[in-house]
Structure formats: structure tokens, C-alpha cells
Chain A
Amino acid sequence: MTIVKKTIPNLYRDSVSLMQFTEKVKNLPGVLQASAVMATENNLNLLLEAGLLDESLPANPNHLLLVVESTDETAALSALSQAEKLLQQRPETKAVSEHDEMTPRSVWMALEVLPGANLALISTPGEYAAAEALKALRLGLNVMLFSDNVSMEDELTLKQYARDHDLLVMGPDCGTAVIRGIPLGFANVLRPGNIGVVAAAGTGLQQVTSLIDRRGMGISQGIGTGSHDLNRHIGGITMLQGIAALAADPETRVIVLVSKPPEPEVAQKVLKLAVASGKEVVVDFIGADPATIQRPGLYAARTLEEAAFVACQLAEGQPPAPPQDMLPPGLEEQALRTASQLAPRQRYIRGLFSGGTLCAESLLLLQDLIGPVYSNIPLQPQYRLPDVWWSREHTAIDMGDDLFTRGRPHPMIDFRLRNERILQEAADPETAVILLDIVLGYGSHPDPAGELLPAIHQAGQTARQAGREIIFVSSVCGTRGDPQNLERQETLLRESGVLLAESNAQATRLAAMIVKHAGGKL
């Protein structure tokens, strides 16, 4: 071990910069201990005590003393010379920026930067979501709560608080909303118009609004309520507020309500307020008996498509007269032709859905057209799939269900699981039709067709190798304004032989027609 030292005369550095500098010297190769101090008597004594000086030196507070202890003399001398160079270096001067404000950490802090904020969009893990939402409400913000796994108790607290303070809580478990044309969560780009929608079902809202858009009409507001809003516990607080808000909104002429059938007393309250709104209201309580809905000023739709159709007619001041049980124009013949090519064992529809509401709608339509359908969200409990990973007979599954999304992104974003399932269904000799939904818009995958096509091709090959044809039926839920390019998506799917309907209802009817005519029974 060697200690080397050097006195640099008349070089003053303050003690703090010297401490910093000492740290740098300590990090040089081979250095065991180092010190850089002004050579005051006190400092020299400290160094002597620390064993870093072997002799007393004359004190001079204007001289800088460098001491380096190292493994050998070469290393020590090299460190000393490097240290001296470091000492003479001028400090870096960075330009002072006026814009080094930190990114806000909380809603409260964000209001300092964005004082005009009027909505908090919350998609944190569920256990923190209620507190974030409550904070936002207390700060006067409306809330969209994308997060799920918020307790019913917390949901009620939030919604009551919001109602008492004239604020809106969309959610929890609200996937879709469109406010002033701005898509929130999973939502399509819609033209502005005079139809307002309140929906407890995310893809329900997307299907209705995108079909309205496709018919050339527009949307004033698309309000999501979250999936639990219309149960007895919550009592439809958000939907009631939504109806009242649209009733008061001069831009809105027609109101569309979408939900699974609410609890009867909640339905009563909702429909009563709808009648009182003074506007034309179209109601699709998916699967509910239209007779329980029908009231003056209300129109009960049986499908999302019908709701969109009627809303457009009403918005144009026409009497509601939707065409019944539409099939995709021009596709019937092609469908029947393909149906005739199916092998005798190919009898079943396999519906693989990314949208829960679209899956539910298909289950309802199929039940009427071809009988019961197995599912993970069955219409009757006896048709619950014993193992959701394997289809039986007619099956339609909601792949956005928690069972499938644990540890994985939603199937609208990540197609791997659905593609695997497509191949699995194609390998099943009983599969006749694979029915798919494809959802465009913000939030969804940037190129769903590109993701699906390889699986569709491979499925076709697998079937053909086994001497079968597999039929793909689908609909694209999207608009021309969506970032994915609707036209291109549809073209790619059609070119791959997918029978493409305009709506989920039409696609479902087409699929049913095919299996009805399967096996050359035409």
C-alpha cells in the first residue's frame, strides 16, 4: 500500500465540492482511500488521525491538499494525476430550463396544470379505483371508471355522491363512452348528430353507435353506465342521470337505451323517466319481452341493429318502420351454396366473440332460430359449458370474460387466444360455421383483420385436408372514421372468403340459416 500526496497552492474549493470531488477520486481504479481538503490545521490533524498523512505538513488554508492511498505506487500516482486534472476541469454548465415541471402524480395535482378538466378517466387496478374516483368527484370532475372489481358498496357510494353533486360516474366496468365526439376507452369515431345513447353494455354502445354512423346519422353523446348500474343495489343511478342529461340536452332528439334486462323495479324507474323525457326513446333491453317495455313515446327494439335503425328513422322525423329479420343483402345465395357443401356431420355454429353484448345478442337470436346454444354466458343455466375451453354442439363464447382474460390483454387487443380457438374449432368435424365479431375503434387492435387472416387461412386448410369446408361469418363493428380503416379491414376479410354482414344480428341470422340448410338439405 502506498500513500501519495500533492499540495496545489492557491487553489480554493469549498468543502462541499471537495467532498464531492473526493468521492470521484475514490472511484478511480486502484484507489483505496482518498482525500481532498484545504490544508487547514484542523484538516491536517484529521488526516493524521485517519492515517492518511505520515508526517505533519505546514498548514496553509489557501492550499489544496490531495492525498491518495492505493494498492501500489503506479496506481497511486496515476490516480493523483487524474485527480489533478479533474480538479482543474471547469464544471459543466447546463442551460436552465423553465419547463422542468414534473408530470402530475395525482388528479389533484393535475388540476394545477389543467384547471379546466371536466372528466377523470380511471383505469387503475380495481382496489385503488374507488378512491381515485371519489377524489375526482370531490374535486368537481365527472368520472369514467374503466376499472372493474370495485365493490358494489363503493359503486353505490360513488354514484350517490355524484348524483347529489350533479356529476356523472360512468362505470365501474365501463368500457366505452363517447363525449362530444371524443372516444373514451374502447370507442368508435362517430359523426356528430342528434342521437344520444345511454348504455350499460360497452360493445352494445359501440354496435348501436357505429351502425347509426354507417347509416349516415350522428351521435350527440354516448354515455356508458358500467355493467352493474341497473341491478337492484345500484338502481340505475347513472342511467337515470344519463337520460335526464340527454333530455335536457338541446342537441339530442332521440335517446337510445341499451342494457341487459334490468331488475323489474329498476326497469320501471328507467322507463318512467324515459317517457317523461319528452324525447323519442328507443330501448333495447337485450332479450327482454318488448311488451314489458312498450309505452307511449318508447320503442322497444329486439336487436342492437333494430335500435340503431329505428333511432335513425326517428331522428329524421320518420315513423319507426324497421325491416324485419334482415339478412346481409347479396349473401344469401352464396351462403346457401356453401351450406350445401358441408359434410353431414358439420352441423354446428361456433361463435367466438370479443364483445360480451354481441355474444349475448347472438345467443338470443340463435336460440329462436336454431335452438339452445352452449356458452360461458348461457341464457339458461343448463347450457353452461362444463369446460369453457371446449365447445359442444352450438356454442357461442364471450372471450372477454374474466375466465379468458386473466393475465392476458382483452381479445379486442390480443388475438392469440381467439386464433387458437379458431384452429381448434376448425379441427372439429362437427363445426360448420365459425361466427366472429370484429370490433374497430380506439382501444382495439390497430389491424384486427391482419391478426385474424392467418388463422382463418390455416383453419380453412386444416378443414380441407380433412375433406371439409369451414364457413366463416362475421361483422365488423366500426366506422369510416376509425383509425383501422374500415374499408380495408372489410376488403381483406371478404377476400379471404369471410361472409361479412353489416351487423352482428345479420351475421348471426346468416350463420343460423347456413346450419339450417347444412348437409345439402336444400
Chain B
Amino acid sequence: MISNLFQKPLQVINVGLSSFANSIQAAGGTALHLDWTPPAEGDRAAGMALAWLVNHPAVERANQTALERFFASSPVVTGVKPAREVIPGMKENLILHAGPPIPWERMCGPMQGAIIGAALLEGWASDPDSARRLAENGSLRFAPCHHYDAVGPMAGIISPSMPVWVVKNTAGGNTAYSNLNEGLGKVLRFGAYDRDVLRRLRWMADVLAPAIDRALQELGGLELKPFIAQALHMGDECHNRNAAASSLLFKRLAAPLVRSGLAPADISRVLEFMAANDHFFLNLSMAACKAMLDAAHGVVGSSLVTAMARNGVEFGIRVSGTGDAWFTAPAPVVNGLFFTGYTKEDAAPDLGDSAIAETAGIGGFAMAAAPAIVQFVGGTPQDALAYTREMFHITLGSHRSFTLPQLNFSGSPAGIDARRVVDTGIAPVINTGIAHRNAGVGQVGAGITRAPLTCFTGAILALSEQINVNQEKV
């Protein structure tokens, strides 16, 4: 209101020349000088599109709806079943992978390796070369996990016989899936496919999965939000650190497993396998996040980010209001700490669906809860707090269920608003493992990275087109 200008004390937001703010302050006025850089990385058209979307009633309403669905969601793990039995549309020659869509020839080393492994595991090929030929000649079909309500860490490979966690959102009716975590070292998700890897995968399908499934049936499913909430109070951020959550899961499954009637040797191996893997909960955390975010997906006009995922070549995001579209940019190489004998030169660009954790407001967004993680980039506990605080500036709200003791039990920042990312230039922070660029070597480090801003700029342009098509500029 103009009258507002004359009748209320002048409070100025100063954009540009700092001397103007100094003058206002020297003359006794209030001025706040911005640390401004051109939004949308200087893309003028995107900057203008963003301006029209700021405080747009249709977007605000849509975001409220999407955020409400996201918060209201209640992910419950109900079983572990072969992918072909539970994932809708899972075809017999279909292999799901991490990140946005990508053809075989452009896939990174670990992803190609993992696909070869899956083809061997399924018995489609008898040796790596013939597996490779099947991939090349189009006999195998590839699709992002995200297109099938699923998520997978690193290469994220899910083939029809692989067991998957089944996570139902009892509040929204949607279901999400994720594969089971194999542990560290030579594993399929880093592109390894030797005999040990395949043998382990078979054991997981034949023994581990049915055992856990039986335990879950006895328990009548497990609500996952309480696990994550409790783990956040125990030093996990449930992406790169799952030590607490994995222990909590172990505690809940142990007795039912013992009662399951399986052979004692099998029970013992199942328990040992879970106990040895501090990341066992990761895939479940991811499926929970996917279930929560899918509930918020598909609200026309909403700028809420519902997926961030990488295929080792491209980083892609999906936004609630723009449906199935992916907005991509080259995947960054993660800056982090490397295991003995490895350097940044060995690293594959950012890989895996696990950034679904940050999309859902945990992982890097809940860094304050897991100060140990910040050491990966030589940071301090204060830095961990700062990362979380920073993320509040690009999110629509804060979690009701996931609180952070280090921030006085405030909710973790949740619901990334693509508009705010483009407006502030603050890119979502992601905690992640680093894969070796060659298939089968495994994890070579871990670190902290940022989502590329270009993805969000693309989303804003698409959203702005949609809004302008649907109604007058308001």
C-alpha cells in the first residue's frame, strides 16, 4: 500500500549499491542490504518467470496442498517381496536404474557394471560379454526407478527377481519400493558383478528377504517415521549415516526373526548380515522418503520438489506441479574425503536415488542432527548447524515428525521450493557416498555436494508456462 509508505516507518530492502543502504542508515532509517547475485544464474527470462511465480496464489495454494499431503503421509514397511510380484508394470526384461532416464551407451561405469550383474543374476546371460550385448542390442529395457515408484542407492539397479522393501503410505494410499542394502565393498550398486556379489544377491533373495518378510508379517508392518525421528536424535541424518536407525531396525526384527521358524544357521546369518551393515536402514529410509514425496507429487501449480536423483552422468529433479518431466544438468563430482589410495580423479560423478532423503528434509537437510557427517568436508559441528539453517531458506516448512535437538527441537527443513532455490541461489545440500568411476571397484569416499541450480531454473520455466497457460497472470 502506498499509504503504508507514508504512515509507517520506512524499512528498506536494498538491492545493488551498498552505499544507498549506508546513507539510509546514516540518516536514521532502516535498511537491509542484500548479498545479491542475479537469480537463475543470470538467466533473465527465468528471472522474470520466477518473479511472476513469487507469491502467486495458484502456486501458494498448490504448495499448501502438496505440503499437507507430504506431512500427512505415513510410510509403513509391510513386507519384502520380489520386484516382479509387487512393482506395478515390472516387466520380465526390465531393469530399473537410479536417476533420470539415460540410454545404455551413456551410462556411467558402475551403472553398466550393475546392469551386467543383474543380467547374470537373472540368468539372461551366462557371461559379462553376452550381458553387454543384450544391453546394446535392445533386448533389455531400462527405466528410472522413479518411474516405477521405486528408488535405489548408487546404480540403483532393480531387476525382476530382486527383493524389494514394500513401503505403503497408509495416509495417501501410494506405495514405494527400494532394493535391499548389500553392505560395503564389492557390491552390485557400485557396479561389481563377480561371483561373490551374485552369490550374496541370491542369498539375499532366497534367505534374507523371506526371513525379514516373515518377521514383518508377524509385526504387522513397521511404521517408519518413528524410526527416522528417533535416529535423528541419535546422530543419524538417515542418508550418509544410518548407524542408529540400522540398530533400531535390528532391535525390532531380532526376536520375530528368531521366532520365524527358519533354520538357526540362516537366522544367525541374517542377524549377522544386518548387524555388520551400518547402512542397512538406508534403502528403507529412501523408500519411506519416496512414499512421503510421491504423496505430494502431481499437484498442478506446485513448485515443491518431489525428487532429486542422479544417474552418474546427469542430475535430475522432478517437481510436483510439472508431472513426469525431469529437469537435468550434468552431475557434479562430489567434493569429499577419499579412502586410502583413492583421489577425486577416481570418482564417478554424483550417482544414486539416495538424494530422495534430502528432498524429504533429512540427509544433508538434517545435518545439524549428525555433526559427524560434516567431517567429510573438514567441517565443524557449527557448520552442520549452518547447513541445516541454510536449508530453511529454500523450504516451504519444517517437519512435524522429524525434530532436531541441536536446533532446539525445531522441525527439520522440509519441502524444497524450486522458486526459492532459484531466487536465492542456495542449492540443496546433499550428503552422499562417492562411487569409483569404474565398475566394480566400490565406494571410494564420501562427501557433501550441492544440487545443480540449472535443474531448478528449468523447473521454474516449465512451471511458469503451465501457470500462464492455465490462467491469467495474477
Q: Which residues on A are within 8 Å of B, measured CB to CB?
A: 14, 16-17, 19-20, 22-23, 33, 35, 37, 46-47, 49-50, 52, 94, 96-97, 100-114, 116-125, 127-128, 130-132, 134-136, 138-142, 146-147, 166-168, 179-185, 189, 221, 241, 245, 248-249, 251, 442-443, 483
Q: List 25 A-B contacts (CB under 8 A).
A: A16-B446, A23-B337, A35-B340, A37-B340, A49-B341, A94-B382, A106-B36, A110-B34, A114-B30, A118-B11, A119-B5, A122-B15, A127-B44, A128-B44, A130-B48, A135-B54, A138-B52, A140-B1, A142-B5, A146-B20, A166-B1, A182-B12, A183-B27, A241-B2, A245-B6
Q: Which residue of the partner chain, among B19, B31, B386, contacts A100 with CB atoms under 8 Å?
A: B386
How far does the alpha carbon of A189 sit from the alpha carbon of B29 in the complex, in Å? Answer: 12
The interface size of chain B toward A, counting residues with CB under 8 Å, comes to: 70
**Contacts A116-B11, A245-B6, A248-B3 known; A47 to B34 CB distance under 8 Å?**
no
* Chain B residues positioned under 8 Å from A147 (CB to CB): 16
In chain B, positions 14-55 with a C-beta closer than 8 Å to chain A are 14-17, 19-21, 23-24, 26-39, 42, 44, 47-48, 50-52, 54-55
Q: Is B227 engaged at the interface, CB distance under 8 Å to the other chain?
A: no
**Contacts A121-B14, A241-B2 known; A46 to B340 CB distance under 8 Å?**
yes
Do the beta carbons of B55 and A139 come within 8 Å of each other? yes
* Chain A residues positioned under 8 Å from B52 (CB to CB): 134, 138
Q: Which 5 A-B pairs have the closest CB atoms?
A: A123-B16, A442-B23, A134-B51, A182-B29, A131-B47
* Chain B residues positioned under 8 Å from A14 (CB to CB): 372
* Chain A residues positioned under 8 Å from B27 (CB to CB): 181-183, 189, 442
How far does the alpha carbon of A20 sit from the alpha carbon of B337 in the complex, in Å? Answer: 7
Do the beta carbons of A131 and B50 come within 8 Å of each other? yes
Question: Would you give the shortest CB distance from B378 to chain A, in whole angstroms?
Answer: 6
Question: Would you give the shortest CB distance from B57 to chain A, in whole angstroms?
Answer: 10
Q: Which residue, B15, B55, B420, has most C-beta atoms of chain A within 10 A?
A: B15
Do the beta carbons of A167 and B37 come within 8 Å of each other? no
* Chain B residues positioned under 8 Å from A251 (CB to CB): 6
How far does the alpha carbon of A20 sit from the alpha carbon of B23 in the complex, in Å? Answer: 46
User: Chain A: interface secondary structure?
Assistant: mixed
* Chain B residues positioned under 8 Å from A116 (CB to CB): 8-9, 11
Do the beta carbons of B15 and A107 come within 8 Å of each other? yes
Do the beta carbons of A249 and B6 come within 8 Å of each other? yes
Q: Is B390 engaged at the interface, CB distance under 8 Å to the other chain?
A: yes
How far does the alpha carbon of A146 sit from the alpha carbon of B373 in the complex, in Å? Answer: 45
* Chain A residues positioned under 8 Å from B44 (CB to CB): 127-128, 131
Question: Would you give the shortest CB distance from A229 to chain B, in whole angstroms?
Answer: 15
How far does the alpha carbon of A166 sit from the alpha carbon of B4 in the complex, in Å? Answer: 10
**Contacts A19-B339, A104-B34 known; A179 to B10 CB distance under 8 Å?**
yes
How far does the alpha carbon of A166 sit from the alpha carbon of B23 in the complex, in Å? Answer: 27
Q: Which residues on B are within 8 Å of A, measured CB to CB?
A: 1-6, 8-17, 19-21, 23-24, 26-39, 42, 44, 47-48, 50-52, 54-56, 337-341, 372-373, 375-376, 378, 380-382, 385-386, 389-390, 393, 420, 423-426, 445-446
Q: Which residue, A118, A125, A142, A245, has most C-beta atoms of chain B within 10 A?
A: A118
Do the beta carbons of B13 and A107 come within 8 Å of each other? yes
Do the beta carbons of A106 and B48 come within 8 Å of each other? no
**Contacts A100-B382, A128-B47 known; A180 to B9 CB distance under 8 Å?**
yes
Q: Which residue of the partner chain, among B5, B385, B390, contacts A168 with CB atoms under 8 Å?
A: B5
Do the beta carbons of B11 and A102 come within 8 Å of each other? no
Q: Which residue of the partner chain, among B26, B39, B341, B389, contacts A46 with CB atoms under 8 Å?
A: B341
Do the beta carbons of A120 and B2 come within 8 Å of each other? no
Question: Would you give the shortest CB distance from B453 to chain A, in whole angstroms?
Answer: 12
How far does the alpha carbon of A146 sit from the alpha carbon of B12 in the complex, in Å? Answer: 14
Question: Would you give the shortest CB distance from A354 to chain B, in whole angstroms?
Answer: 17
Do the beta carbons of A142 and B423 come within 8 Å of each other? no
Question: Would you give the shortest CB distance from B213 to chain A, in whole angstroms?
Answer: 30
Question: Would you give the shortest CB distance from B395 to chain A, in whole angstroms?
Answer: 12
Do the beta carbons of B54 and A185 come within 8 Å of each other? no
Do the beta carbons of B6 and A121 come within 8 Å of each other? no
* Chain A residues positioned under 8 Å from B339 (CB to CB): 19, 46
Question: Would you give the shortest CB distance from A450 to chain B, in whole angstroms?
Answer: 19
Do the beta carbons of B51 and A103 come within 8 Å of each other? no
* Chain B residues positioned under 8 Å from A123 (CB to CB): 14-17, 20
* Chain A residues positioned under 8 Å from B42 (CB to CB): 128
Do the beta carbons of B10 and A167 come within 8 Å of each other? no
Question: Would you give the shortest CB distance from A249 to chain B, in whole angstroms?
Answer: 6
Do the beta carbons of A19 and B2 come within 8 Å of each other? no
Question: Would you give the shortest CB distance from A118 to chain B, in whole angstroms?
Answer: 5
Q: Which residue of the partner chain, among B56, B340, B375, B424, contacts A16 with CB atoms under 8 Å?
A: B375
How far does the alpha carbon of A140 sit from the alpha carbon of B5 in the complex, in Å? Answer: 11
Q: Which residue of the partner chain, among A20, A106, A130, contacts B378 with CB atoms under 8 Å?
A: A20
* Chain B residues positioned under 8 Å from A130 (CB to CB): 48, 51
Which residue of chain B lies nearest to A116 when distances are taken between CB atoms in the complex? B11
Do the beta carbons of A101 and B389 come within 8 Å of each other? yes
How far does the alpha carbon of A113 sit from the alpha carbon of B32 in the complex, in Å? Answer: 9
Which residue of chain A lies nearest to B8 when distances are taken between CB atoms in the complex? A118
Q: Which residue of the partner chain, among B28, B341, B424, contacts A106 with CB atoms under 8 Å?
A: B424
Q: Which residue of the partner chain, among B11, B36, B378, contacts A117 with CB atoms under 8 Å?
A: B11
